């Protein structure tokens, strides 16, 4: 089921099985995707194998590389930025830096019995509305998607380390995550991100200590490492070029950084992929 608006707006609802799961592997520019698993499935995301159980929801952006190893049944909601920009609507849905554009770890949330009922209802309304034809269709579909994103954000906050934070602190973490997503190729220090947030590095360190054992610097390094592995795994770019792209002055500094975080050099990592 596919909604196409007059200005390149697109919303796709799809019942996914092993017969059509290839749609998940094809990235769509400027899009976000929610996958609601109805039975166990196994994916490789950015080179890492993940097993998903029934009634888990996976949140993906266009930048994730996904390969399906084993596909059960799932439902997919995919929308592009012209249809609904989560950055423009962040004050309403609060998902920027949580569900999307905010972590080297792919967000996964689990539905309880109440959540399953809510999502089943929303899916039925989605399907009904996407098959209607009137001048209010796009607005109605956007309202349903907004409700879905709010529910997902609430659930993920409750099920993640963010539950230990106040609303103000949670917003600060989201902004930090989003800034890292935007600037990790150029900015590598906590001090620089703290300046962008008009906070001190110590404030960020204290905030993250409330949330988990990971430091702000480890979040920055994890994001750089994720991109480094993606580029080594999915492209034929020389290691030197990858290092420059990720903000390192020379191949030696990039190699030292990579080995410190991965336990092997970029060339060793790439050789194991052959």
Asked whether the predicted pLDDT for residue 170 surpasses 90, the reply is no
pLDDT tens profile 212-268: 768 999 999 999 999 999 999 889 999 999 999 999 999 999 999 999 999 999 999
Domain range list for the chain: 2-159, 167-272
Was domain 167-272 assigned CATH 1.10.10.60?
Answer: yes
For residues 271 and 57, which has the higher predicted lDDT (pLDDT)? 57
Tell which wins on pLDDT, 211 or 38: 38
* CATH of 2-159 given 1.10.540.10, 3.40.50.880, 2.60.120.280, 3.40.50.2300: 2.60.120.280
Confidence category of residue 82, pLDDT binned at 50, 70, 90: very high
243 phi and psi angles, rounded to 5 deg: -60, -45
Pairing of strands 31-37, 56-61: antiparallel
- Whether the per-residue pLDDT at 106 is higher than 70: the answer is yes
User: What CA–CA distances, in Å, run from 271 to 151, 241, 246?
Assistant: 43, 17, 20
Domains 2-159 and 167-272 share a fold: no
Percentage, residues of the chain above pLDDT 90: 71
Q: What is the mean pLDDT of the chain?
A: 92
């Amino acid at each position: 089921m596919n909604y196409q608006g007059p200005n390149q707006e697109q919303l796709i609802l799809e019942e996914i099985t092993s017969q059509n799961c290839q749609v998940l592997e094809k990235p769509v520019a400027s899009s976000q995707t929610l996958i609601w698993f109805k039975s166990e499935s196994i994916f490789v995301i950015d080179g890492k194998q993940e097993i998903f159980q029934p009634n888990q929801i996976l949140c993906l952006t266009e930048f994730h590389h996904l390969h399906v190893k084993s596909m059960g049944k799932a439902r997919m909601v995919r929308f592009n930025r012209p249809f609904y920009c989560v950055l423009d609507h962040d004050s309403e849905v609060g998902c920027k830096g949580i569900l999307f554009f905010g972590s080297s770890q792919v967000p996964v949330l689990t539905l309880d019995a109440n959540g399953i009922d809510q999502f089943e209802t929303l899916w039925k309304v989605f399907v009904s509305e996407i098959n209607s034809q009137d001048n209010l269709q796009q607005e109605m579909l956007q309202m349903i998607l907004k409700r879905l994103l709010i529910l997902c954000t609430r659930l993920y906050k409750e099920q993640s380390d963010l539950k230990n934070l106040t609303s103000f602190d949670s917003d600060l973490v989201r902004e930090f995550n989003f800034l890292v997503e935007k600037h990790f190729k150029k900015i590598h220090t906590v001090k620089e991100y703290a300046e962008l947030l008009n906070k001190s590095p110590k404030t960020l360190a204290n905030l993250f200590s409330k949330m988990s054992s990971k430091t702000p610097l480890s979040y920055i390094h994890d994001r750089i490492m994720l991109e480094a592995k993606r580029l080594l795994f999915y492209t034929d770019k020389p290691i030197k070029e990858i290092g420059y792209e990720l903000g390192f002055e020379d191949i030696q500094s990039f190699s030292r950084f990579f080995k410190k975080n991965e336990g092997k050099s970029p060339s060793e990592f790439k050789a194991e992929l052959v």
